[in-house]
Copies of this chain bind each other. A is one copy, B any other.
Amino acid sequence: MKGAWREECAVFGVWGPEDSAQLAYLGLHALQHRGQESTGIVALDAGQFRIEKGLGLVSEFFTPERLAKLPGRAAIGHNRYSTTGSLTRENSQPLTGVFSGGPLAVAHNGNLVNTVELRRELEQCGALFQTTLDSELFLHLIALSKATTIEERVADAMRRVRGAYSLVLLTSTAVIGVREPHGVRPLVLGRHESGAWRVAFDGCAFDLIGATLEREVEPGEIVILDHRGLSSRRGLPAEARAQCIFEHVYFSRPDSVVFGATVDRVRKAIGHRLAEEQPVDADIVISVPDSSNAIALGFAEASHLPYEHGLIRNHYVGRTFIHPTQAIRDEGVRLKYNAVQAILAGKRVAVIDDSIVRGTTSRKLVRLLRGAGARAIHFRVGSPPITHPCFYGIDTPCRGDLIAATHDVEGIRRFLEVDSLGYLSLEGLLACEREGAAFCHACFSGTYPIALGESRDKLALEGPRRWVRAALAGQGG
Cβ-neighbour of A144 out of B126, B255, B322 (below 8 A): B126
Which of A108-116, A309-317, A349-357, A408-416 makes up part of the contact surface?
A: A309-317
Query: What's the number of copies of this chain in the assembled complex?
Result: 4
Residues of B within 8 A of A18 (CB): 327
Bound-state CA distance A18–B338 (Å) is 24
Contact indicator B59/A316 (Cβ below 8 Å): yes
Contact indicator B209/A341 (Cβ below 8 Å): no
- A250-268 near B? 1/0 per residue, CB < 8 Å: 0001110100001011000
Tell me, yes or no, whether A194 is within 8 Å of chain B by CB: yes
Residues of B within 8 A of A3 (CB): none
How many Å from the CB of A120 to the closest CB on chain B? 8
Which of A99-107, A179-187, A434-442, A447-455 makes up part of the contact surface?
A: A99-107
> Chain A at the B interface: mostly helix, strand, loop or mixed?
mixed
Cβ-neighbour of A100 out of B90, B124, B473, B477 (below 8 A): B124
Which of A300-308, A378-386, A390-398, A458-466 makes up part of the contact surface?
A: A300-308
Known A26-B333, A297-B307, A321-B59: A97·B130 in contact at CB below 8 Å: yes
Tell me, yes or no, whether A474 is within 8 Å of chain B by CB: yes
Contact indicator B128/A99 (Cβ below 8 Å): yes
How many Å from the CB of A214 to the closest CB on chain B? 15
Bound-state CA distance A129–B97 (Å) is 5
Cβ-neighbour of A335 out of B102, B208, B253 (below 8 A): B208
Contact indicator B477/A333 (Cβ below 8 Å): no
Contact indicator A254/B59 (Cβ below 8 Å): no
Given contacts A59-B321, A62-B322, A262-B343, 11 further A-B pairs with CB under 8 A are A17-B331, A18-B327, A22-B325, A26-B328, A48-B473, A98-B129, A103-B475, A125-B126, A127-B128, A208-B335, A293-B309
